[in-house]
Amino acid sequence: MTEAVPSYLSPTGQEIVFLLLGAVAVGAGLLVVTTRQLVHAALWLVVCFGAMAGCYLVLTAEFVAWVQVLIYVGAVVVLLLFGIMLTRAPIGRSADLDSGNKTVAAIVAVATAAVLVTVVIDGFRTAYTPLDPGTGAAKELGSTIFRNWVLPFEALSVLLLAALIGAIVISRTDIRGRN
Amino acid sequence: MSLMSMTLLAAPAADPTLDDFGHDPIGIVILKSVVIFVVLMLGVLFGVWFERKLISRMQNRYGPNRAGKFGLLQSVADGLKMGLKEDLMPRTVDKVIYFIAPVVLAVPAFLAFSVIPMGPKVNMFGVETPLQLTDLPVAVLLVLAMASIGVYGIVLAGWGSRSPYAMLGGLRASAQVVSYEIAMGLSFVGVFLFAGTLSTSGIVAAQANGGSFALGDVDIPLPSWYMILLIPSFAIYVITMLGETNRVPFDLPEGEGELVGGFQTEYSNSLKFAVIMLAEYVNVFVVSAVSITLFMGGWRAPWPISMWDGANTGYWPLLWFFLKMVLVFSFFIWARASLPRVRYDQLMSLGWKILIPANLAWILLVATMRAMRLDGVNQTVVLILGAVVLAGALAIWLRFDTTLQRRREAKAAQVEAEFEQLQAEPTAGGFPVPPLDLPHYHGVGRKEVPSGTN
């Protein structure tokens, strides 16, 4: 982290691309919740995740970017689509996609965004990190995770394992309760 | 001395490293991209011909032999025919998605080829440049990511064309490719552990020399290709590459026996179908190229040829790479000619219950081996940890196995008891009533005896 704050005027190419990708991500995110077509919502989510992967790439976090594509685009949304197709998969507009809680949800979303933006701007206002290519490669990331952040990493793994086992237990009908 | 430093010392100067990428003038970049694109297109044209010809010979027939010498122009004729056909758009499909699905299928397939190394550094119009479009520190991840984007093409083609057959094909494809991608990614881990890098050129460079394994005082030379050194990883990769590209014996997404044409049913034989076909073949080329890069020494000449000093210099490696591609592609055709299509539940249980656990166990073993060979590592600690993990895994397996066995026995006993009761009281609905299935033969209270329980 360096303290030298570059000027906001005359943005570099990287900054412009980053801003554009951010705009794509936000726009696609809005379309996810406003579109009337169920499958299109999932596809806008893909665009949103892709734009975020692009943001990571601009910030030279290559490993995170491709893992984002691999996991979120390649697995999570595919499973979402799989679920939609397995149930109804309507082509065209559905009338009943609006939730009754949409006002509350919008308020919560805006509030969450406000909190996050305030925290990030407050915390990192003058902190600029140099974007050297190669710092986001697997080697650096691996040594950081397994040296400095190994405890949160392991805790997260256990959490995911618990969720996994929970999903198996819920979905299997031949595992009886203890009664 | 560790394997990494040995290979680094031994690597000849012409070997491209990560620093050599990103400095090409724009003209060279465009030239390389165009050459890759054109070669892939030609590769598909003649790949289709080669596949039809080879599989014909395996089935004792001639195959295409009318268009051009040896039927070489058959695919060209097919392509022209597809271009001239009427482009049907079914009336109720989701038009945008129906239209972009083939494109989504094709573009990532081509993109994945940009990180495949095809040769050392050469002099191209006065510029020293590697025979590879680009490389990243995480290039193999890029290939995997592109494969996972390609799934969308199949899923969207299946959903967008609004046909039950296409939809079922899309469903099968999404489940299959996601499952097999996990096993595929895991089969790369051993390679990463040995090569110490995720960059494709780095992995090829790491396979230049085998290094050796010090066992006491004896140095056992290790084979240089990971195909031999990591043979379980390679075997799993070969299976997953068939699954990932929807080729026989895992071609259920387009299983014509039950789904007409699967996800591509509604793409009548027009240019869109040609694009789908193109994407499938390019995908096959991509997984073949990845298998060559990661497991078969990349563009390096195989053993007898590598005795010749000039084998790994200049443009010669393009030839070795091409020959290896032909061999791997022939393997695909060989598999298609010999194997029947598996059932869907067999496919899934192979992927999840065999490939992934076996892969994980093998990764543990490889990681332990690597840990033992690190400098300044207490080998006893590693061995003790390994023994603890092994004992734990065995205990878990034993616990599950005994529970399953107990459950199976309980079920068998229950069925047995029912049979005995039915034998004693024929009026309860059992013996000697003939086994007819209509409920009024048995009374309402009869319990079904499902197959496979006794």
Within 8 A of A46 by CB-CB distance, chain B residues are 152
pLDDT given for residue B261 in this prediction? 76
Q: Do B138 and A138 touch (CB under 8 A)?
A: yes
In this complex, which of B93, B148, B198 lies closest to A75 when CB atoms are compared? B148
Within 8 A of B171 by CB-CB distance, chain A residues are 82, 85-86
Supply the DSSP string of A103-123, one letter for each residue. Answer: HHHHHHHHHHHHHHHHHHHHH
CA atoms of B175 and B177, how far apart (whole Å):
6
Supply the DSSP string of B259-315, one letter for each residue. Answer: HTTGGGTTS-TTHHHHHHHHHHHHHHHHHHHHHHHHHS-TTSPPHHHHTSGGGGSTT
Residue A122 located in a structural domain: yes
Confidence of residue A151 (pLDDT cuts 50, 70, 90): very high
In 3D space, the residue among B180, B108, B99, B102 whose CA is nearest the CA of residue B149 turns out to be: B108
Chain A nearest CA to B141, separation (Å): 6
pLDDT given for residue B6 in this prediction? 42
- The predicted-structure confidence for B225-278, as pLDDT tens digits, reads as follows 888 888 899 999 999 999 888 888 888 877 777 777 778 888 876 888 888 889
- The predicted-structure confidence for A98-131, as pLDDT tens digits, reads as follows 778 888 988 999 999 999 999 998 888 777 777 7
Which helix (H) or strand (E) segment holds residue A132: the answer is none
End-to-end CA distance of chain A: 58
Q: What is the ipTM of this complex?
A: 0.81
CB B233 within 8 A of CB B226: yes
CA atoms of A76 and B382, how far apart (whole Å):
36
Q: Do B148 and A138 touch (CB under 8 A)?
A: no
DSSP letter at B129 equals E
pLDDT given for residue B418 in this prediction? 82
Q: Do B181 and A75 touch (CB under 8 A)?
A: yes
Angle at B112 between CA B297 and CA B17, to 5 degrees: 50
Q: Which two tokens stand for residue B349?
A: 């249980």
Mutation pick from B18, B134, B138, B163 vs chain A, by most beta carbons of A within 10 Å, is B138
CA atoms of B87 and B101, how far apart (whole Å):
15
CA atoms of A134 and B100, how far apart (whole Å):
34
Question: Which segments in chain B show pLDDT lower than 70?
Answer: 1-14, 210-217, 221, 269, 425-454
pLDDT given for residue A104 in this prediction? 92
Q: Which two tokens stand for residue B306?
A: 């590598």
Mutation pick from B100, B155, B171, B408 vs chain A, by most beta carbons of A within 10 Å, is B155
- Would you tell me the crossing angle of helices B271-295 and B316-338 to the nearest 10 degrees? 110
Chain A nearest CA to B311, separation (Å): 32
Residue A166 located in a structural domain: no
The answer, yes or no, to whether residue A7 has pLDDT greater than 80, is: no
Q: Average the pLDDT over A84-91 and give the result.
A: 73
Cβ-based neighbours of B425, under 8 Å, separated by 6 or more: none
CA atoms of A48 and A27, how far apart (whole Å):
8
Comparing alpha-carbon positions, the chain B residue that sits nearest to A75 is B178
In this complex, which of B155, B162, B197 lies closest to A78 when CB atoms are compared? B155
CA atoms of B353 and B12, how far apart (whole Å):
43
Please give, one letter per residue, the 3-state secondary structure of A137-170.
CHHHHHHHHHHCCHHHHHHHHHHHHHHHHHHHHH
The answer, yes or no, to whether residue A157 has pLDDT greater than 80, is: yes
Backbone angles phi, psi at B441, to 5 degrees: -80, -25
In this complex, which of A66, A79, A81 lies closest to B142 when CB atoms are compared? A66
Angle at B273 between CA B272 and CA B276, to 5 degrees: 90
Q: What is the largest CA-CA distance in chain A?
A: 70
Interface of A with B (CB under 8 A): 39, 43, 46, 62-63, 66-67, 69-70, 73-75, 78-79, 81-82, 85-86, 89, 91-92, 134, 136-139
pLDDT given for residue B437 in this prediction? 55
Chain A nearest CA to B65, separation (Å): 42
Q: Average the pLDDT over A84-105 and give the result.
A: 78
Within 8 A of A63 by CB-CB distance, chain B residues are 137-138, 141
Q: Average the pLDDT over A14-31 and give the result.
A: 91
End-to-end CA distance of chain B: 60
Identity at B200, one-letter amino acid code: T
Number of domains in chain A: 1
Residue A76 located in a structural domain: yes
Could you tell me the CATH number of the domain that includes residue A27?
1.20.120.1200
- The predicted-structure confidence for B157-212, as pLDDT tens digits, reads as follows 888 888 888 888 888 888 888 888 889 989 999 898 888 888 888 888 888 876 66
Which helix (H) or strand (E) segment holds residue A136: the answer is none
DSSP letter at B225 equals S
Residue A27 located in a structural domain: yes
Put residue B429 in one of left, alpha, beta given phi > 0 → left and psi -120 to 50 → alpha: left
Cβ-based neighbours of B7, under 8 Å, separated by 6 or more: B205, B206, B208, B209, B211
Residue A40 located in a structural domain: yes
Q: For residue B225, what are the CA distances in angstroms to B195, B228, B293?
A: 11, 6, 10
Within 8 A of B145 by CB-CB distance, chain A residues are 66, 69-70, 73-74
Residue A169 located in a structural domain: no
CB B159 within 8 A of CB B263: no
CA atoms of B107 and B446, how far apart (whole Å):
58
pLDDT given for residue B237 in this prediction? 93
Q: Do B94 and A79 touch (CB under 8 A)?
A: no
CB B158 within 8 A of CB B171: yes
Chain B nearest CA to A98, separation (Å): 22
Q: Which two tokens stand for residue B217?
A: 């005082």
Chain B nearest CA to A58, separation (Å): 14
Tell me the torsion sign for CA atoms B109, B115, B121, B125.
positive
Range with the poorest average pLDDT among A9-23, A146-160, B209-223: B209-223
- Cα-only R_g, chain A: 20
Residue A83 located in a structural domain: yes
CB B118 within 8 A of CB B131: yes
Cβ of B212: how many Cβ atoms within 10 Å? Answer: 14
Range of the domain at A93: 13-132
Residue A23 located in a structural domain: yes
